[in-house]
Each structure stands twice: as structure tokens, then as C-alpha cells.
């Protein structure tokens, strides 16, 4: 039983900048001794992700493009990982997107296009990624995705993203059921609100943060480091009996 991930390789998908929760997970994985593969969406992000990856000064770190709306991109990315890194031991899926105008006002106004876009990027991508990652997890593995309370409850302004998170949460259970026989576990972390690039576009985000500070049992907002350390637990053999589970890392807010 150990938290050490030395000699193991993890794919971290969804670093955009130093505020990204994926970057918090990457740092915790790095501290646990893991080798990292970063994937990013679109050329625009390449330099910032490379810069962050380089700052770890770790040997063998890979940085690869992967737009999860493209099956070809996902297949090419994991083929490249297989060729360069060989076996992998886990994937951190930290990816979501919805149209800014649909993250405020009434959920009722969600367009078909916006609904499909949010579900494609924020939910289906986990299934598409798990399918490609499976063949690289020859020693078993652990897949961790990030969800939010808005998938369990109707939270103001979260709207279509909440519906996509509910779909993602169900996917975690179905994927866990499929992949358990291969020794692959699938779990989610429900993070409390954290000020990141994606979160900033959610209507009245400052009010949401203030509410957590005032009312959550721990009376403080969640940090990417707290999420990162829980991810390391889910990636390590300390959590070997857990799959299909959702762990709230939200200062206890979900119990209220
Ligand atoms: P972020 O903006 O730093 O990360 C979102 C990432 O999704 C970005 O790196 C972006 O490039 C990536 N992405 C978007 N479209 C993509 C595509 N087509 N292909 C590949 N990648 C794509 O924001 P974050 O808050 O760190 O978000 C990470 C995850 O955490 C998301 O799933 C988000 O819903 C979840 N989450 C965030 C919070 C919060 O308050 N910040 C709370 C709970 C859950």
C-alpha cells in the first residue's frame, strides 16, 4: 500500500493555464513521482502547456495535441503515447465546455446546438478517451474525471453544464462496470467552485464563491491542490477497492 506513483505514467488532459484544476492534479502526480503526459486542445494552448510542463523539470514528460471532439485526434494522441511511453496507469480527464450565453439565465433557453456541444465535449469525451486508453493500461489503471454538484442539483446558471455533468456521472458508472474486469477503475471528483478560465464564464461566479466561504462546513473554497491530492489517492493503490464512485472535494458544501 503506497501513495508513491514512481515508475508509473499518467495522462493529464485539460491543462489550459496555471489555474486549471488539471494543473493542480499534474503537480500532485509529479510530487508522487509519476511520469506525465499532457494533452491540450488547439495550437493556441500549446506554448502555455509546454511552459508549465517544462517547469516541472521532469524527465520524459510528453506534451501532445488532442481535441476531444475528434475521434481521429484521440486515436492519434493515444497511438503516439503508446509509441513513446508504452504502458500507462491512469488518465485525468479535466475537460468541459459550454457556450457562455447558455451559462446564465434560464436552462429552458438551451439550444439544440449548445446542448449537443456541451455533451460532446464535457461528457462523451470521457467514453471516447476511455476506449483508447484501455489498450494502454495493460497493468490495470485508474481513470479520474471532474464533475460538479450542478449535475446532482439544479444550481443557478450552471444550466446545460449541469445536465452534461449528470451524463458524465452516469458514464463513470457504466465505464466502471465495463472496465472493472480489466483492472481499470473509473471515478469522479466533484470539485467545489474554483476560479479557473472555464468557471469565470459562469454567471455570478463570485456570488457562488462567497456562498461557499460563508456556508460550507469548512468555511473556505476548494483549491486545485486539494483536488490534485484526492486524484493521487484515486490513482494510487490506496483506493484499489473503489470504482464507479464520486468523491466530493468541496469543503463539505454538498451535505447542506
Ligand atoms: P479550465 O478552463 O482550466 O479547463 C478546461 C479545459 O477543457 C481546458 O484546458 C480546455 O482546453 C479543455 N477543453 C475544452 N474543449 C476541449 C476540446 N474540444 N478538446 C480538449 N480539451 C478541451 O477549467 P477547469 O475549471 O480547470 O475545468 C476542468 C474540469 O473541472 C472541467 O470538467 C470542469 O467542469 C470541472 N470542474 C470545475 C470546477 C470549477 O469551479 N472550476 C468545479 C467542478 C468541476
Mean pLDDT of each 10-residue bin along the chain, 256 residues long: 86 98 98 98 95 96 98 98 97 98 97 98 99 98 98 97 99 99 99 96 92 98 98 98 98 98
The rounded Å distance from CA 85 to ligand 1 centre is 25
Residue from 184, 166, 181 nearest 246 by CA: 166
Which pLDDT does position 2 carry in this prediction?
A: 58
Q: What is the reported pLDDT for 203?
A: 83
Distance 1 CA to ligand 1 centre (A): 31
CA atoms within 13 A on the CB side of 106: 2
C-alpha of residue 109 to centroid of ligand 1, in Å: 23
Closest residue by Cα to atom 3, ligand 1, is 20
Q: How far apart are CA 231 and CA 212, in angstroms?
A: 22
231 lines ligand 1 (CB under 6 A): no
State the catalytic residue, choosing from 107, 148, 174, 253. 148
For the whole prediction, is pTM greater than 0.90?
yes
> Residue 94's pLDDT is what?
98
* CB of 168 sitting under 6 A from ligand 1: no
Provide the residue count of the chain: 256
Does any ligand 1 atom lie closer than 6 A to the CB of residue 10? Answer: no
Q: At CA 233, angle to CA 228 and CA 237, rounded to 5? A: 145
Q: Is the CB of 21 under 6 A from ligand 1?
A: yes
Residue 163, C-alpha cell as written in the block: 445536465
Given strand 9-13, what is the order of strands in its sheet? 62-65, 35-40, 9-13, 90-93, 141-147, 184-191, 246-249
Pull the grid cell for residue 3.
501513495
Active site residue 158: yes
**Main-chain dihedrals φ then ψ at residue 249, nearest 5 degrees:** -115, 80
For residue 25 and ligand 1, the question of a CB distance below 6 A is answered with: no
For residue 148 and ligand 1, the question of a CB distance below 6 A is answered with yes
- Among residues 40, 107, 158, 174, which one is catalytic? 158
> How would you class 246 by CB atoms within 10 Å of its CB: exposed for 0-12, middle for 13-18, buried for 19 or more?
middle
pLDDT at 144 (0 to 100): 99
Kind and range of the H or E run holding 80: helix 71-84
237 vs 239: CA distance, rounded Å: 5
Amino acid at each position: 500500500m503506497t501513495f508513491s506513483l514512481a515508475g508509473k505514467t499518467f495522462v493529464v488532459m485539460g491543462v489550459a493555464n496555471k489555474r486549471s484544476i488539471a494543473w493542480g492534479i499534474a503537480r500532485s502526480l509529479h510530487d508522487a513521482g509519476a511520469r506525465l503526459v499532457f494533452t491540450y486542445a488547439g495550437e493556441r494552448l500549446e506554448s502555455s502547456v509546454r511552459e508549465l510542463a517544462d517547469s516541472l523539470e521532469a524527465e520524459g514528460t510528453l506534451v501532445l495535441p488532442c481535441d476531444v471532439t475528434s475521434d481521429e485526434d484521440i486515436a492519434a494522441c493515444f497511438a503516439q503515447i503508446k509509441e513513446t511511453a508504452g504502458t500507462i496507469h491512469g488518465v485525468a480527464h479535466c475537460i468541459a465546455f459550454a457556450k457562455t450565453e447558455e451559462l446564465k439565465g434560464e436552462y429552458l433557453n438551451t439550444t439544440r446546438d449548445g446542448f449537443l456541444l456541451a455533451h460532446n465535449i464535457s461528457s462523451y469525451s470521457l467514453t471516447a478517451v476511455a476506449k483508447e486508453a484501455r489498450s494502454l493500461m495493460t497493468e490495470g489503471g485508474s481513470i479520474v474525471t471532474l464533475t460538479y454538484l450542478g449535475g446532482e442539483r439544479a444550481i443557478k446558471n450552471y444550466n446545460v453544464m449541469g445536465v452534461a455533468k449528470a451524463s458524465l456521472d452516469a458514464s463513470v458508472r457504466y465505464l466502471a462496470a465495463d472496465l472493472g474486469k480489466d483492472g481499470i477503475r473509473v471515478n469522479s471528483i466533484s470539485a467545489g467552485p474554483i476560479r479557473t478560465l472555464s468557471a469565470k464564464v459562469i454567471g455570478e461566479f463570485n456570488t457562488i464563491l462567497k456562498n461557499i466561504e460563508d456556508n460550507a462546513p469548512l468555511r473556505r473554497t476548494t483549491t486545485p491542490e486539494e483536488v490534485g491530492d484526492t486524484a493521487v489517492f484515486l490513482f494510487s493503490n490506496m483506493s484499489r477497492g473503489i470504482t464507479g464512485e464520486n468523491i466530493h472535494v468541496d469543503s463539505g458544501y454538498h451535505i447542506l
